Amino acid sequence: MQHAPRNQMGVIYPLMFLFLLLLHGTSAALKDPVQKWQTLSGAPPLVIARGGYSGLFPDSSQFGYQFALSNSLPEVVLFCDLQLSSDNVGFCKTGLALDDSTLIAKVFPKNDKTYKVNGDGLHGWFSVDFTSNQLMDNVTLIQNVLSRPSIFDGTMGISLIDDVVELHPPQLWINIQYGQFFLDHKLNIEEYISSKAKEFGVNYVSSPEVGFLKSLSGKLGKSNVKLVFRFLDQQLIEPSTKQPYGTILKDLKSVKAFASGILVPKTYIWPVNKDQYLQPATTLVKDAHGLDLEVYAFKFGNDFISSYNYSYDPSAEYLQFIDSSDFSVDGVLTDFPSTASAAIACLAHTKDSSLPPPGNDTRPLIITHNGACGLFPGCTDLAYQQAVEDGADIIDCSVQMSKDAVPFCLDSPDLTKGTTAATVFSTKAATVNEIQNGSGIFAFDLLSSEIQTLKPDLVGPYNQEGLKRNPAAKNSGKLMTLVDFLAFSKSNNISGVLVDVRNAPYLATRGIDIVDAVSSALINASYDKETRQQVLIASDDSAVLRAFKKFPAFKRVLQIGNAISDVSKASVEEMAKFASAVSITRGSVVQAQGSFLLRFTDVIDKMHAANLSVYVGLLRNEFMNLGFDFWANPMVEIVTYSSLMADGIVTEFPATAAEYFRSPCSDFSKNLTYTIMPAKPGSLLKLTDPSALPPAQGPAPVLKPADVVDPPLPPVTISTPGASASSNGSSTTSGARVSTASSGLCLLAIGLSVLLVTSSK
């Protein structure tokens, strides 16, 4: 039967496929490194793109399939959840109820039904009640995962399976999730597949229904199509045998009788406990391989809540399934095929690779922010030890001062941020407007002996949204004094330390000389004579940096905390008088519109022209910290700043950066079949309807000399008791004076409600 003609809502623009190919193109290689894989065949695992690139575009959209082809390994498999219209036309769409991911309810508001599906009632709009013309001419797709872009909603039509075939995918996988449902409605999907398999070039057919696969096996005969049994959650009942999937799992020999492989939830292989931590791997893969059954895993998505063991690095999760010395799955079904491709092509088999030294011709410095505070409470012994183990070059200490002038490491002088002070010293709460808006419990109001009684507290930036960091280590480790931090640093093989000095003018009014305290600690640790490790002194106050000019070996770093869109020549010349490096925000490197990247600035180039090193931060792994152009993959952001020649990246997850720089893909001179490409600002925006975008933000300010020059430090004096609590002053450091009219890289649109999903649809 001829399929219905395409309407304008689902039209494929003539140059779109070419454009998508150019977004993140791959380069052909003469020869890639030969790797040994623990798959059944010994070949690399397959990347199977569920509904195309459904992590960005609506599931099963033509754009999504095109994007998957152009941004994945050459052997990528396109995955189509096949459904049939009432006139027996096949199309791709995940989920039986169409209203979950289309606007069909608005177009046909009175056509909803309730049907029995595997014994349970399901209400919605179903393909069996509509002709192909009705669906193709009227129904458009929407993104049904709220953490993903919604601006493509209503702009793309449903994809016929013929449309997917016309893209000439290297391999095609057809999934039949509800074969019996269509049979109950007089639509024989078995006959449809068996008659079209050769024409469409189908390579795989999967289904969670034993009866369907057995029947289809007889119809396909000696076809080369591989049949794959799809396991669902173990407690669910398989409809034809009436057995729980967990029971069938125990009898893989029976599966081998009608299938050549199995598709299983990833927890079948690496279970997680109730606290979301990994348990020991099962023997499923090895057992299945022993029976000559291939094993494919599903429920992979960069923005799915997974085990805390992965620290929000989706690449780490893929590697857990493909890079074991004991086993590898034969393929992964994913919403983000580029990330899976990178794990296979770039990151696998690199655990023992050495990390190249930082340099202009190799890679930027990996600089921590409060140590590896993505895994342990910031500025603790455990966070610093983890950072060293993870490959950090520079570990940092943000210096705070106790009432008795003991310097220690903590991100903020407000002890309620990073410790349990609120539960112990609530009576010490005060308001110090020179430090922050709102009250807090401040380090300079407590003796060092009191601070030592506090427990650290690991609170991630997205706790409220459910993205917690390593809850098992919430109060682990101990805070470190600056003296202990320097001793630890000297005893480890790192490139150097960054000592952040803040709030010197205010502390002087409290009788505390932070510059002298830091200088003394560095001298006592012999860092003024150190040749093996570099000392970086960072501050947002030019007067502080000038005070450290007496240490010529120290590198002074000006921190510019607010986003800027440009730098004036005069401001760069002024900075060069007292600093040799600058630390800038991500929003100063790339501008955004809503959650989309808009354009790169030339701030890095202008700083480099004045011989100033540039460090970019703050990098975090959580997908909510990433613009959509980074594809919910923190590694793409690392690649992007590296490609812009940043001299250092400041991160809370140094392991992710080191993982990338150990890989062959970090060397852009290598001609690899596939590599991780930097983001291209504006590329996704070109695919959107401008009216669907949030209002553009005004540009960030241009940095001027007045923004970087501070008055001399005041003399250290003893203030009257209680002065801090009644102070109404405001900070006058250069880093705080830059206009905050623009918030820089606003990576999540205002009002975005994030749906944290734990499984694919």
Rounded Cα distance between 148 and 144, Å, is 8
The mean pLDDT value for 509-525 works out to 98
Structure confidence at residue 234 (pLDDT): 97
Please say if the pLDDT value at position 279 is more than 50.
yes
Rounded Cα distance between 336 and 314, Å, is 10
Rounded Cα distance between 540 and 553, Å, is 20
Q: In which band, very low, low, confident or very high, does the pLDDT at 8 lie, cut at 50, 70 and 90? A: very low
Q: What kind of architecture, by CATH, is found in domain 46-347?
A: Alpha-Beta Barrel (3.20)
Q: Is 312 helix (H, G, I), strand (E, B) or coil?
A: coil
Structure tokens at 690: 């401008």
Q: Is 619 helix (H, G, I), strand (E, B) or coil?
A: strand
Angle at 540 between CA 537 and CA 541, to 5 degrees: 90
Please say if the pLDDT value at position 485 is more than 70.
yes
The mean pLDDT value for 188-214 works out to 96
Please say if the pLDDT value at position 739 is more than 80.
no
Q: At what angle do helices 482-490 and 381-390 cross, to 10 degrees?
A: 30
Helices (H), 153-307: 161-165, 179-184, 189-200, 210-220, 245-249, 252-256, 284-290
For residue 530, give Cα distances in angstroms to 404, 553, 631.
28, 9, 42
Please say if the pLDDT value at position 536 is more than 70.
yes
The single-letter DSSP state of residue 1 is -
Please say if the pLDDT value at position 131 is more than 50.
yes
DSSP 157-173: BPEEHHHHHTT--SEEE
Rounded Cα distance between 721 and 86, Å, is 81
Regarding beta strands 496-501 and 394-401, do their DSSP bridges make them parallel or antiparallel, or are they unpaired? parallel
Return the higher-pLDDT residue of 751 and 330.
Answer: 330
Structure tokens at 14: 């003539």
Please say if the pLDDT value at position 9 is more than 90.
no
Same CATH topology for 46-347 and 365-703? yes
Q: What kind of architecture, by CATH, is found in domain 365-703?
A: Alpha-Beta Barrel (3.20)
Structure confidence at residue 35 (pLDDT): 65
- Per-residue pLDDT reduced to its tens digit, 697-736: 788 999 999 999 999 999 998 755 444 443 434 444 555 4
Decide: 77 and 48 in contact? Cβ < 8 Å.
yes
CB atoms within 10 A of CB 302: 27
Q: What percent of the chain has pLDDT over 70?
A: 90
Identity (one letter) of the amino acid at 200?
A: F
Q: In which band, very low, low, confident or very high, does the pLDDT at 33 lie, cut at 50, 70 and 90? A: low
Task: State the number of CA atoms in the 13 A half-sphere of 601 facing the CB.
Answer: 28
110 by Cβ neighbours in 10 Å (0-12 / 13-18 / 19+) ranks as exposed
Q: In which band, very low, low, confident or very high, does the pLDDT at 746 lie, cut at 50, 70 and 90? A: very low
Q: In which band, very low, low, confident or very high, does the pLDDT at 252 lie, cut at 50, 70 and 90? A: very high
Q: In which band, very low, low, confident or very high, does the pLDDT at 594 lie, cut at 50, 70 and 90? A: confident
Q: Quote the distance between the C-alpha of residue 101 and its chain's center.
A: 24
Rounded Cα distance between 471 and 160, Å, is 45
Please say if the pLDDT value at position 656 is more than 60.
yes
The mean pLDDT value for 592-613 works out to 95
Q: For residue 641, which of 622, 623, 660, 655 has the smallest C-alpha distance? A: 660
Structure confidence at residue 75 (pLDDT): 97
Phi, psi of 447 (to 5 degrees): -70, 155
Please say if the pLDDT value at position 747 is more than 50.
no
For residue 398, give Cα distances in angstroms to 54, 407, 538, 648.
41, 10, 9, 17
Rounded Cα distance between 321 and 334, Å, is 13
Please say if the pLDDT value at position 369 is more than 80.
yes
Decide: 196 and 82 in contact? Cβ < 8 Å.
no
The mean pLDDT value for 450-478 works out to 97
Structure confidence at residue 737 (pLDDT): 46
CB atoms within 10 A of CB 652: 27
For residue 164, give Cα distances in angstroms to 29, 128, 182, 540.
27, 21, 21, 54
Structure tokens at 732: 């006058």
Q: Is 369 helix (H, G, I), strand (E, B) or coil?
A: strand
- Per-residue pLDDT reduced to its tens digit, 169-180: 999 999 999 999
Q: In which band, very low, low, confident or very high, does the pLDDT at 31 lie, cut at 50, 70 and 90? A: very low
426 Cβ contact list (under 8 Å, min separation 6): 441
Please say if the pLDDT value at position 745 is more than 80.
no
Structure confidence at residue 689 (pLDDT): 79
The single-letter DSSP state of residue 443 is G
Regarding beta strands 590-593 and 596-600, do their DSSP bridges make them parallel or antiparallel, or are they unpaired? antiparallel
Q: In which band, very low, low, confident or very high, does the pLDDT at 10 lie, cut at 50, 70 and 90? A: very low
Rounded Cα distance between 655 and 316, Å, is 10
Q: For residue 343, which of 555, 35, 19 has the smallest C-alpha distance? A: 35
Rounded Cα distance between 715 and 717, Å, is 6
Identity (one letter) of the amino acid at 415?
A: L
Identity (one letter) of the amino acid at 613?
A: S
Rounded Cα distance between 414 and 457, Å, is 13
Mean pLDDT value across the chain: 91
Rounded Cα distance between 173 and 193, Å, is 11
In the chain, where are the structural domains located? 46-347, 365-703
| E-only strand ranges, 251-325 | 261-265, 294-300
Rounded Cα distance between 661 and 358, Å, is 10
Angle at 758 between CA 757 and CA 761, to 5 degrees: 70
Please say if the pLDDT value at position 654 is more than 70.
yes
The mean pLDDT value for 382-410 works out to 98
Decide: 233 and 223 in contact? Cβ < 8 Å.
no
Rounded Cα distance between 559 and 304, Å, is 34
Structure confidence at residue 733 (pLDDT): 55
